[in-house]
Chain A
Amino acid sequence: MNNPTDSTSHDEHCRVNRLCIEATSAASASISHEIMNILAIINESAGLLEDLSLMAAPDEGIPAERITTTAAAIMKQVSRANQIMKWFNKLAHCGDAPRARTDIAGTIQLVVALANRQAAMKKLSVSTGDLSTAEIESDLLCLVSLLYMVLRRLYETVGTEGEISIAAKPEGSDITVSFTAHHRNEQVNLNSFPNHREKTLAAHLKANFSHNGEALQLTLPPTLPQD
């Protein structure tokens, strides 16, 4: 983040921090909700095994098929939680340094994973087609917060069962991330992007929003200039 040198940059610093906290809090809340669901399934599965053992006749035990089916259900949820926690751990480490090198493809995949539950709730199809493997040096926490904010609002904008496509490609030394959205084969107008909050984070990242046809584009510099 910036080292505030005057009241204006201090105010901006506070606004950016606040927005980053809001974005990461929203992601954390969503993840904790999903983990609660996973724990609830494991809890019911374990309870079912207990029920079956209490009901079993002393000399017969629980049918093996019931045990293997229930055990498989538990293992599936452990695997699901493990994947979610890996992404959550990546998010948690985004704030380790004020600036860091990151590959844009990995960052987009992280953000898509963090917003996966919202996409599922709205039955959205989210594809990450052409993702550049180029690296940029940026304020990673702010970048993830901005991309997450844009994605969440895109999900609200596109409507149920919509399709969202995200791409990232180099343009000169910059990286341009493009978002397009379709609903029932019609392209969704994204002119409501960016809003004031998204502009604030983009300004901090020295990034620019633009529209290319119906696509929303975010152009990121290869290196965040020193203040």
Chain B
Amino acid sequence: MIDDNDKIKVLIADDEVEFASTLATRLNLRNFSTTVVNSGQQTLSAVAKEQPDIVLLDLKMPDLDGLEVLAMLREEHPELKVIIITGHGSFEMGREGMELGASDYIMKPVDLNLLIEKISDICLGSKKDS
């Protein structure tokens, strides 16, 4: 079980390299453990290898569409928690992602405090439930 001293393992999947790496740096400063990937295929590989607690998934990446990645993740790792990160101006894509099993979604530019709140709620909540 994760307690407050355990690091939550976050996989950040976004093709905007500088966004993903800077967000990772900021989460690391807050005691999260992060891995960054920049494509759909890399996301699938990293989930298998790193076994993150949660994936922050951009919906628009090269090779595989984010919703395709989400569907594959749901099939192969049904317990994995996913937060959709979207640059779309509407909630539609986030809503579609949640229908496919994402736990939540957040719009870009990201409100870091809100994101951390969502990560903590989802990961700590799910660990307490298990």
Residues of A within 8 A of B (CB): 32-34, 36-37, 39-45, 47-48, 51, 55, 73, 76-77, 120-123, 160
Contacts and interface: CB of A to CB of B under 8 A. Distances in A.
Q: Provide the main secondary structure of the chain A interface.
A: helix
B19 A33 contact: no
Nearest to B89: A32
B19 A123 contact: no
B26 A41 contact: no
Contact of B108 (A39, A48, A51, A122): A39
27 contacts: A33-B60, A33-B89, A36-B87, A36-B89, A36-B107, A36-B108, A37-B16, A37-B19, A39-B109, A40-B16, A40-B19, A40-B110, A41-B18, A43-B110, A44-B19, A44-B22, A44-B23, A44-B109, A44-B112, A45-B18, A47-B26, A48-B26, A55-B29, A121-B15, A122-B62, A160-B62, A160-B63
B26 A121 contact: no
Contacts of B87: 33-34, 36-37, 40
Interface in B87-113: 87-89, 107-110, 112
Interface residues of B, number: 21
B25 interface: yes
Given A36-B108, A43-B110, A51-B29, A121 B60 contact: yes
A220 B130 CA distance: 66
A160 to B, nearest CB: 7
A200 to B, nearest CB: 28
A32 B112 CA distance: 21
A41 B62 contact: no
A66 B109 CA distance: 22
Given A120-B62, A122-B62, A36 B109 contact: yes
Contacts of B60: 33, 121
Interface in B106-127: 107-110, 112
Nearest to B110: A40
